[in-house]
Amino acid sequence: MKKNIKNIGDIFYYTLIAITTILIFLVVYSLFNVGFIWSLIISLGIGAFFIYTQSLDGTSDSAKKLNRLSAEKEAFYKSKGMTKEEIQFFRETMHTAKLKLLRLEKNLNGISKLEAIEKRNNTVQLSKSLFKGITAEPKRLHEVNKFLYVHLPSLTDLTDKYLEISQHEVKNKSTFDILDESASTIDEMCQLIAEDYVLFKSDDFEDMAIEVELAKKAIERDNGHTQSIESEEL
């Protein structure tokens, strides 16, 4: 079902590109009077650019294909009472999260400012621990919707943008203001991920701030070295 939705979305997108290309051709040919051949070249060039950018977006978080489901892992999922459709949805969801988390880890270690934020919040360790917790209890997937669909993707995108802007050769006051604001937002998002971890791990708690700090310290204490999720089987 999910695959069909994706295919319908692709059909709609490429149909829209085709219509847009035709409209561009008509506008250029009728209004700018540059000739039929040049109008055709310009419109096709713009259409090709749209298709190229779509192909980049489609491979950004799916460059690595999901491995084939092993018999052992399939038995594990079935022991949890999961249907074939639920297993496939869970694996695809967690595969996407895994790629985003690996990219986030790389981003947070890519520049000193982000490294400081990561060290203060222990975001990567908390995220990896949460990731492992979800894979161990797949039926609780619905409990981490905010982490999987909002906080993790948003934080990954924010760090992408921060690194991109920080690499600009020429920076002015506006650029530094944007970087400062982005860093503050990244810090806040890291706090939200810490709260996601606490909510998943704690059935009952009284003070979120205290629980978050305890979670950070516990992860730091229990994991002296960075956990790896690259080989985590889904």
Chunked mean pLDDT (size 10), the chain, 234 residues: 47 71 74 71 73 53 72 93 94 94 93 92 92 94 93 94 85 85 92 91 59 58 55 64
pLDDT of residue 3: 44
pLDDT of residue 61: 47
pLDDT of residue 176: 86
pLDDT of residue 21: 75
How far apart (Å, rounded) are the C-alpha atoms in residues 24 and 40? 9
How far apart (Å, rounded) are the C-alpha atoms in residues 125 and 226? 7
How far apart (Å, rounded) are the C-alpha atoms in residues 82 and 152? 25
Domain boundaries, the chain: 2-59, 71-222
How far apart (Å, rounded) are the C-alpha atoms in residues 64 and 62? 5
Q: Angle 112-121/84-108 helices, nearest 10 degrees?
A: 120
Neighbours of 33 (CB within 10 A): 9
pLDDT of residue 175: 84
